Amino acid sequence: AKTAGGHRVASGGADPAPPPDPRQLGLETRLRQAIEDDEFVLHYQLQFALDDGRPVGAEALLRWPREDGQWLPGRFIGLIDEGGMTVALGERVIVQAIAQLRRWREAGLAPVPVSVNISPRQCLDDRLPELVAERLAQEQVPAALLKIEITESAAMHDPQHLRGLLERLRAMGVQIALDDFGTGYSSLAHLRDMPVDQIKIDPGFVGSMEQHAGSRAIVEATIALAHGLKVPVVAEGVESARQLELLRSLGCDQVQGFLLAHPLPPDALAERLRDGSSASDHISRCSPALS
């Protein structure tokens, strides 16, 4: 066994637990405090229909504003999980996203559904549907404006349990998206029986589909599968006009990526929605046939 510092530790039979890294412990404490003080914020990345460029949704993405800039989830979500804070933070995310939907509605913005990411651990929390129902009622937001994103790995961890949870959410009118499709260990039979309203193609495949025939085959197969299941498919991580055009020719329904919109703070997103023009301009510019 090796410690974080790389030193060999004598192990007599069972491995002793590695001594905790004090820097990590400090960060964990700081994260706990940050949840309590509600320091986390959500940025929103728009998704667009590929046929006419209209915005069809926005994904809520977690950000932690710190002295040295915005921290992205990759930097802290693992520690949140290890520290047993997943459910507490997840609840804050749901509360914030639904409150934001209410504010946008009050401001008279054309409503687009907001997608919230739910971690595998959160899927095991049976109070999730009640929390969602309570917040939607409290903020008077229609359930159809909320979408829950689950990853394929969560979906396949305990399919029976997850299916029950999703069906409870669905019965309320909440939509379900399957995130990062193709990266987990899914059984197609489980997918068939899962109530799902949208399938998301992982950026890894979108980013390499022009160079790798295999990635392109996976993108094509995912689109065909989604359409066979009668759900729209969104390609994530679209960064170039060429990718956009290829996805269009393959029959993809929706796109999300830096080419069209970066994740934005709520006010900037509202501005962008009021503006209306920019994304549809981009999509029609890339497709003369449509303009």
Q: Which residues bind ligand C2E (CB under 6 A)?
A: 45, 61-62, 72-74, 77, 93, 117-119, 149, 179-180, 203, 236-239, 256-258, 263
Distance CA 271, CA 52 (A): 20
Distance CA 207, CA 47 (A): 17
CB 131 → Mg ion: shortest distance, Å?
Answer: 19
Among residues 51 and 258, whose Cβ is nearest to ligand C2E? 258
DSSP state of 38: T
Q: Which does 61 bind (CB under 5 to 8 A by kind): ligand C2E, Mg ion, none?
A: ligand C2E
Among residues 7 and 212, whose Cβ is nearest to ligand C2E? 212
Among residues 147 and 248, whose Cβ is nearest to Mg ion? 147
CB 254 within 8 A of CB 50: yes
What's the N-to-C CA distance of the chain in angstroms?
62
CB 261 → ligand C2E: shortest distance, Å?
Answer: 8
**152 interacts with Mg ion by CB under 5 A:** no
Q: Name residues contacting Mg ion, limited to 157-196 (CB under 5 A).
A: 179-180
CA distances 28 to 32, 64, 85, 134, Å, are 6, 14, 9, 30
**222 interacts with Mg ion by CB under 5 A:** no
Helix or strand (DSSP H, E) at 59: strand 55-66
Residues in contact with Mg ion, shown as a per-residue x/- string from 223 to 242 under the rule CB under 5 A: -------------x------
**28 interacts with Mg ion by CB under 5 A:** no
Q: How many residues bind Mg ion (CB under 5 A)?
A: 5
Distance CA 168, CA 194 (A): 12
**117 interacts with Mg ion by CB under 5 A:** yes
Q: Residue 12 contacts by C-beta under 8 Å, 6 or more apart in sequence?
A: none
**CB atoms < 10 A from the CB of 183, how many?**
16
Q: Which does 73 bind (CB under 5 to 8 A by kind): Mg ion, ligand C2E, none?
A: ligand C2E
